[in-house]
Amino acid sequence: MNQLLKRKSRGDAWFDIINYILLTIIMLLVLFPLYFVLIASFSDPNYIYSGEVWLFPKGFTLDGYERIFGDSSIWIGYANSILYATLGTLIGVAVTVFAAYPLARRNLVGKSAIMWFLLVTMFFSGGLIPTYLLIKDLHMLNTIWALVIPGAGGVFNVIIVRTFFQSSIPDEMWEAASIDGCSNTRFFWSIVLPLSKSILAVMVLYHVVGFWNGFFDALIYLNDESKYPLQLVLRNILVQNQVNSGMMIDVESYAAKMRVTELIKYGVIMVSSLPLLILYPFLQKYFVKGVMIGSIKG
Amino acid sequence: MIKPNQKRWSRVKRDYELYLFLLPIIILYLVFRYYPMYGVQIAFKDFSPSQGIWGSEWVGFQHFIDFFNSYNFWPIITNTLSLSFLSLLFGFPAPIIIAIMLNQMLGKKYKKFVQTVIYAPHFISTVVLVGMLNIFLSPNSGIVNHVITLFGGDPILFMADEGWFRPLYILSGIWQETGFATIIYLAALAGVNPELHEAATVDGASKWKRVWYVDIPSILPTIVILLILALGNIMSIGFEKAFLMQSDLNYATSNIIPTYVYEMGIQKAQYSFSTAVGLFNSFINVILIFTVNRIAKKMTETSLW
């Protein structure tokens, strides 16, 4: 049988060849823009401008990075993003896991009512303005809390973690533990959590990426520039074309200014995406796992 | 004999710790998700901050009527619907096709490498994605226009052109999300019974035929579920990318409901009107989700609930 599967007809051989060629092209189409940003960030802006940078950096320079790292707004953005991501992840993961644990238990009284209480918010919501007015009334405008508290405990995450608990920690385990006099809380800390490292990793990653890449809440709720996360700083540079004057030291002519601006743009893309892109190949399996668990219907 | 109620109550008492675990999420949801639903009533009022949500005066459907009659109404509805339908039309099949192709790859190492690369853009932020569009498509320094001029064409002002907004939005979306979206289909393909493939091979089916008659029918339930989800979310197209790509020059096609809600509500502080527009959008979305789910249930016996 295996012999038969291995023996290729000519049509199948062509199928494989075309398949490999197409996938390689697709992969290059995805890869090239990322690669180009990388080489452009190290190239002399004059060559980028005249279209001479294609496959390798030309006129190697670190000028862009020097200007970027010499500017305080990037550092402040970095520090703020790290702070928001850390705090937001802690709160978000804690709320999610605490909520998922009781909901995973088969015979909790009122379980389905609580589940519906959470699920309804997937279909109905107050929308942007009523939420904004609430944050304003609670005096949370222009504070970190507006970014890290209101969205904590998203329904999808609760369902993913709940499904994981249900499938990997059977009720019999709890029954056995409770006969030995174990309390619910103790069971949670000393049995459930240690057995759930992989789902915790998935949740931490989801939250960190979400906070690192998010900018909408910051855009709406923050107006003090010293509190801006990295993505809002990037938006000013990349989308609104406002490169800080600090980054433009010793650039005289208008044309040169334009060029340095381009170089800075390539640089900030690298600087902001690098932490995730470096970590990502190592973390890939956790994300894949997360998507898989999420696809099992709870 | 113990009454059932008493039994329930004693179980609640026994499990009191579990309810304490649930307390944070319940409080969070009551405050940040349910209270704003109460606040939605300002869509039917003339909200003034000094009088508060409850104290402001009722005006009925006035804000909705104003929205329906405004010259912005049809363009916004058309923009929102075309953007999401076109995204779905082109974006939905892409991961299915690529997952099937990946599944046919024989070399394990190369397959893994391709996957690692095509998942990567998923982790790039929207700000960076739009920033990349801006610099790649810049008329005088962008690489895309370098290629166009190399072949003798004239540079195109992509980002400032209302005709290019939709293609750019959709293509960049495909670039960013297709790879990651293959994961679910790859999982489904991994579950296809190998005996089916063996039997088909014995009967002389080519690879192409096995994809067509074995792989695709086997992953059809997954495809249907994801299609229902996507159709149900037609009206909830994302704010971030459209907002970042929007400028005065492409406003004619980039003005969609979420950006309009933001513009009227946050920038112009027309709280009641903006809430009415948002509510109208959610209303259509809820109707859509329920309709699509019902149709799916009837036709394929697969549904979300």
What would the pLDDT profile of A224-280 be if each residue is shown by its tens digit? 989 999 999 999 989 888 887 778 777 778 888 888 888 999 999 999 998 888 888
What pLDDT shows up at residue A59?
Answer: 86
Rounded to the nearest angstrom, the minimum Cα separation between B82 and chain A is: 22
- How far is CA A42 from each of CA A96, A208, A264, B231, rounded to the nearest angstrom? 42, 28, 10, 44
What residues of B are in contact with residue A149 (Cβ under 8 Å)? 28, 32
Q: Are B286 and A124 inside 8 Å of each other by CB?
A: yes
pLDDT at A6 over 60: no
Task: Determine, for residues A128 and B11 on separate chains, whether the beta-carbon distance falls below 8 Å.
Answer: no
Give residues 93 to 112 of A whose Cβ lies within 8 Å of B: 94-96, 98-99, 101-103, 105, 107-110
Q: Is there a contact between A291 and B183 if contact means CB atoms under 8 Å apart?
A: yes
What is the predicted pLDDT for the residue at B167?
96
Tell whether B54 is within 8 A of chain A (Cβ): no
Nearest to A1 among B32, B34, B198 (CB): B198
At residue B2, does pLDDT exceed 60? no
> Rounded CA gap, B48 and B56, in Å?
6
Partner A contacted by B190 (CB < 8 A): no
Sign of CA pseudo-dihedral A28, A32, A33, A34: positive
Residue A181: which residues within 8 A CB-CB, separation 6 or more?
none
Chain B interface, best mutation among A122, A129, A238, by max B CB count within 10 A:
A129
Chain B: residue whose CA lies nearest to A124: B282
Q: Considering CB atoms only, which of A134, A220, A276 is closest to B266?
A: A220
B 272-291 residues inside an 8 A Cβ radius of A: 274-275, 278-279, 282, 286, 289
**Helices within chain B (DSSP H only):** 4-14, 16-29, 35-39, 52-55, 62-69, 73-91, 93-103, 108-119, 126-136, 143-150, 162-190, 194-202, 207-210, 216-232, 240-245, 251-254, 257-262, 271-300
Whole-complex ipTM: 0.91
pLDDT at A2 over 70: no
The lowest-confidence range among B2-6, B55-59, B188-192, B277-281 is B2-6
**Residue range A103-118: mean pLDDT, rounded:** 91
| Residue A250 Ramachandran class (φ > 0 left, ψ -120 to 50 alpha, else beta) | left
Decide the pairing of beta strands B45-46 and B57-58. Answer: antiparallel
Closest Cβ–Cβ partner in A123, A125, A266 for B289:
A123
Chain A CB contacts of B146 under 8 Å are 51
B124 touching A (Cβ < 8 Å):
yes
Query: In this complex, do B32 and A262 lie within 8 Å of one another by their Cβ atoms?
Result: no
**In the predicted model, what is the mean pLDDT of chain A?**
88
pLDDT at residue B305, rounded to an integer: 67
State the residue for tokens 């790509």: B245
Question: What residues of chain A lie within 8 A of the CB of B105, using their CB?
Answer: 19-20, 23
Phi then psi dihedrals of residue B57, to 5 deg: -85, 140
Residue A216 has its nearest CB partner, among B106, B132, B239, at: B239
In this predicted model, what pLDDT tens digit does every residue of B153-186 receive, in sequence order?
888 989 888 999 999 999 999 999 999 999 999 9
Q: Is the pLDDT of residue B189 over 90?
A: yes
Output DSSP code: residue B159. Answer: G
Looking at domain A67-295, which of 3.30.70.270, 1.10.3720.10, 2.40.50.840, 1.10.150.120 is its CATH number? Answer: 1.10.3720.10
Query: How high is the pLDDT of residue A245?
Result: 72
Name the residue in chain B with its Cα closest to that of A283.
Answer: B116
Q: Which pLDDT value is given to residue A3?
A: 52
Q: Scanning every residue of chain B, which has its alpha carbon at the shortest distance from the alpha carbon of A91?
A: B24
- Global pTM reads 0.91
The better pLDDT of the pair B302, B261 is held by: B261
Rounded CA separation A174/A164 (Å): 15
Whether chain B has a CB inside 8 Å of the CB on A130: the answer is yes
Secondary structure letter of residue B160 according to DSSP: G
Sort out which chain B residues have CB atoms less than 8 A from A128's CB and list them: 261-262, 265-266, 274-275, 278
> What confidence tens digit (pLDDT) does each residue in A175-213 have?
889 888 889 899 999 999 999 998 999 999 999 999 999
Q: Where in chain A is the domain with CATH 1.10.3720.10?
A: 67-295
From A68-77, B24-33, B75-84, B92-101, the region with the lowest mean pLDDT: A68-77
At CA A85, angle to CA A80 and CA A87, rounded to 5? 95
CA angle (B267, B271, B277) in 5-degree steps: 95
Q: What is the pLDDT of residue A150?
A: 94
pLDDT of residue A297: 46
